[in-house]
Structure formats: structure tokens, C-alpha cells
Amino acid sequence: MVKQTNSKATSQTAEEKKSSTHASGSTHSESSGTKPGAKSSTVSSRAPVKRAAAVGSSKATTKKSPTSSSAKKANASHSVDNLYQLLLTELNDLLSAENQIIDHLPALAAMSSNQKLKESLQLHLQETKMQATRLKKIFHLLDEVPEKHWCLGMEGVLKEGAELLSMAKKGPTKDACIIAAAQKVEHYEICGYGTARAHAQQLKLDEVAHLLKETLEEEVEADRILSKIAEGSFFSTGVNKQALELEDYALSHR
């Protein structure tokens, strides 16, 4: 009989605790104005120009290379819930990429011993500055502000190029290395601008798509010029052949 009585008392106590906990949860839900188990939701914007997207932003675009952890933290400031937000993410990435290129191109031009290559890189530096300005114009058209974002992809491409150049001696071989590094940069941008333009077209953002197309065409042309300098033409010897001839000369005089 004692065991049964204790069992009943324990059962009653458990029921009272459960009832008390349930009542407490209900009171908390009522005071906070939220139904128990309800999920909070955010309103995502769809697209058109002058419509704000649910993306946090700040005015500054970082030029110095941040630490890997701080870059990831800055770049994870929002989620991508729709195509418009994806486009904004791509635009921020491209703007950071352009700013990094602006910082690196003068050094590339200074390293070159080929006059055509040097002039091409100097010209593209001015184009790149205009492309960065064009991206800022796109943000203005969308009534958006560029985020504090760091393009990790471009950072990797530039670091890889710098490592390659550090191993090359000055002359045609180094010029060939410069072209190889510069073309990797161009191909990264061609991919980025092509994708962003396609998304802008899908969102019916015609003016944005047109501006992105302008830059895309400039990048394709810059890549073509680099290939021409590397391969040469009927009237001029390309950098690649110059490097090969230098190697053949060195081998023949060993």
C-alpha cells in the first residue's frame, strides 16, 4: 500500500510540474505576442529598380586584404533568398574584385619588359577604374549601397599570380608569366560579369544588363589583346616565341 501511495504522489507531482511548465510557456507566448512554435519570417524583395532588397549594406568597400576569418565574417552578413539578392551579391563581389585589380595592375605593368604589354596593362588599369565606377552606377540605379565585401576568389587568383611572378626572371619569360596571370584575372571577370548580366536580364533590369554587357565586352577585348601579345602576328614576334628563343639560345650556349 505504501508503494502505491508513493507512486500516486509522484504521478501527481509530475502532472503538477507539467501543468505549471505549460502554463508558464503559454504566459510567455502571450506576453511576447507570438504563438507557441511560430517561426519569425522576413520579407524578401523581388526585383525591380528602386525597390530595396532585404540585404544589409554599408558604404565602404575594403581594399586591404583582410584576414581569412574576418573576410568570411564580413561576407556572411546576409542570406540569399531570391534572384535579386543573388544579383546584389554578385555585384558586390565584382566591385571588390575590380578594386583589388586596381591595386595590383600598376605593379604588373612595372614588371613588364615588353612595351606593348606594358601599355596594354596601363590602358586596362584606366578601364578597370571606369568599370568600378560603372558598378557604383548600377548600385545607384537599384537604390542600393555597396556592402563591405571582400572577393576571396579574386584574392586567390592574384596571390597565385604573384607567386608565379616571384619565380620568374625578368625578360620574355616573365612577360609570358604576366600574361598568364592577367588572363586568369580576365577569365574570372568574364565569368562573373556574364553571369550577373544573365541574372539582370532575367529580372527585367534592362539598363543594369546593358551596363554589365559593356564591361563584359571590355574584358573579352582585354583578353583578346593579351592573347595577341602572347602569340604575336605576321608583323611581330609574340612574347611566347621570344621566351622560347631565349631558352633555345641559353641551351645552345651551355
Between 24 and 215, the more confident residue is 215
| From 17-31, 111-125, 173-187, 223-237, the region with the lowest mean pLDDT | 17-31
Q: Do 90 and 192 form a contact (C-beta atoms < 8 A)?
A: yes
Helix (H, G, I), strand (E, B), or coil: what is residue 237? strand
For residue 71, which of 172, 190, 151, 154 has the smallest C-alpha distance?
151
- In the prediction, which pLDDT does 232 show? 86
Instruction: Report which of 146, 152, 181, 144 is spatially closest to residue 166, judged by C-alpha positions.
Output: 181
Domain assignment present for 236 = yes
Residue 232 has φ and ψ, to the nearest 5°, of 80, -175
Q: Fill in the DSSP letter of residue 76.
A: T
For residues 147 and 92, the answer to whether their CB atoms sit within 8 Å is yes
Once rounded to an integer, what is the mean pLDDT over residues 130-134? 98
The mean of the pLDDT values for the chain is 78
Structure-block grid coordinates of residue 223: 583578353
Within a domain: 6: no
Segments forming the whole domain that contains residue 209: 83-252
Least confident of 24-28, 171-175, 182-186: 24-28
Residue bearing the bigger pLDDT, 58 or 87: 87
What is the band of 163 on the pLDDT scale with cuts at 50, 70, 90? Answer: very high
Residue 101 lies in a domain: yes
Asked, for residue 57, whether it belongs to a domain, the answer is no
Residue 242 Cα to chain centre, angstroms: 36
Rounded to 5, what percent of the chain is helix, strand, coil? 70, 0, 30
- Indicate the number of domains in the chain: 1
pTM: 0.69
Taking only the tens place, the pLDDT of each residue in 26-50 is 444 444 444 344 443 333 344 444 4
| CATH assignment of the domain containing 206 | 1.20.1260.10
Measured CA to CA, the distance from residue 238 to residue 229 in angstroms comes to 6
